[in-house]
């Protein structure tokens, strides 16, 4: 396993300030939950944009985001799909600890296992034990950039088991902030992009 890996985000972690709560700790704007942060609080060494060829959708209900849906991508690759992502260059321990925090665990809790070598070999890796991964239990290998592997994570359930649930405005505004940061696109372009995501409610008005 290389010394560094790319974590590819596609939801609220498109916003650097929101993502940094997983690294240094803190409560993201709009959320009701505080994160402990990684044991190594070194900021990402780099970040850049990428297209993720997996369909974006909103599902489940998250108490810290108004009991509404959050972003996932489908497990099946679709080369026709354009999901806008932003990836951060981390050490593997930081990446694993981000997943643990997403699953409601302390960052250094050893009970939730993630094997990145197996993810690279097989293209995907299901977090062990599976019942510990409450939502984001599937690690996906997306290739390499500058010699470092790219990983993202998504739902543990299969694509034919998806139950859609629209997101709340606070969560959507965090995604909008991240898209504007990373891509510099207009509000109208952001809304057109989000309306292609399954589970998004067309015609939602942005709250100021």
Res 175: pLDDT:
96
Res 95: pLDDT:
95
Res 133: pLDDT:
58
Spell out a b/e string for 110-131, using b for 16 or more CB atoms within 10 Å of the CB, else e. Answer: eebebbbeebbeeebbbbeeee
Res 205: pLDDT:
41
> 61-94 pLDDT, tens per residue?
888 788 899 999 999 999 999 999 999 999 999 9
Res 204: pLDDT:
45
Alpha-carbon span 110 to 174, nearest angstrom: 30
Residues 35 and 196: beta-carbon distance below 8 Å? no
Alpha-carbon span 23 to 194, nearest angstrom: 27
Res 31: pLDDT:
60
Res 119: pLDDT:
95
What's the predicted TM-score (pTM) here? Answer: 0.90
Classify residue 3 as left (phi > 0), alpha (psi -120 to 50) or beta: alpha
Name beta bridge partners: 72: 57
206 band by pLDDT with thresholds 50, 70 and 90:
very low
> 107-159 pLDDT, tens per residue?
888 777 889 999 999 999 998 765 555 688 899 999 999 999 999 999 999 99
> 116-128 pLDDT, tens per residue?
999 999 999 998 7
Please name which of 197, 181, 188, 191 lies closest in space to residue 59, comparing C-alpha atoms.
197
> 168-204 pLDDT, tens per residue?
999 999 999 999 999 999 999 999 999 999 999 754 4
Res 56: pLDDT:
98
Of residues 30 and 61, more confidence is placed in 61
What's the fold here for domain 5-194?
Hypothetical upf0131 protein ytfp (3.10.490)
């Amino acid at each position: 396993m290389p010394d560094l890996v790319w974590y590819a985000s596609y939801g609220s972690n498109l916003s650097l300030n929101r993502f940094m709560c997983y690294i240094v700790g803190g409560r993201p704007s709009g959320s009701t939950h505080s994160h402990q942060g990684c044991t190594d609080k070194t900021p990402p060494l780099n970040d850049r944009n990428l297209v993720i060829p997996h369909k974006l959708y909103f599902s489940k209900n998250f108490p810290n985001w108004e009991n509404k849906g959050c972003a996932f991508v489908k497990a099946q690759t679709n080369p026709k799909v354009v999901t806008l992502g932003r990836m951060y260059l981390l050490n593997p321990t930081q990446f694993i600890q981000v997943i643990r925090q997403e699953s409601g665990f302390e960052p250094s809790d050893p009970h939730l296992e993630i094997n990145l070598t197996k993810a690279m070999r097989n293209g995907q890796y299901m977090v062990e034990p599976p019942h510990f991964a409450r939502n984001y239990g599937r690690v996906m290998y997306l290739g390499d950039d500058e010699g470092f592997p790219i990983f993202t994570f998504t739902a543990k359930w299969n694509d034919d088991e998806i139950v859609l649930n629209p997101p709340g405005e606070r969560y959507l505004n965090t995604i909008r902030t991240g898209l504007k940061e990373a891509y510099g696109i207009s509000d109208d372009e952001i809304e057109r992009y989000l309306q292609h995501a399954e589970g998004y409610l067309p015609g939602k008005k942005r709250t100021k």
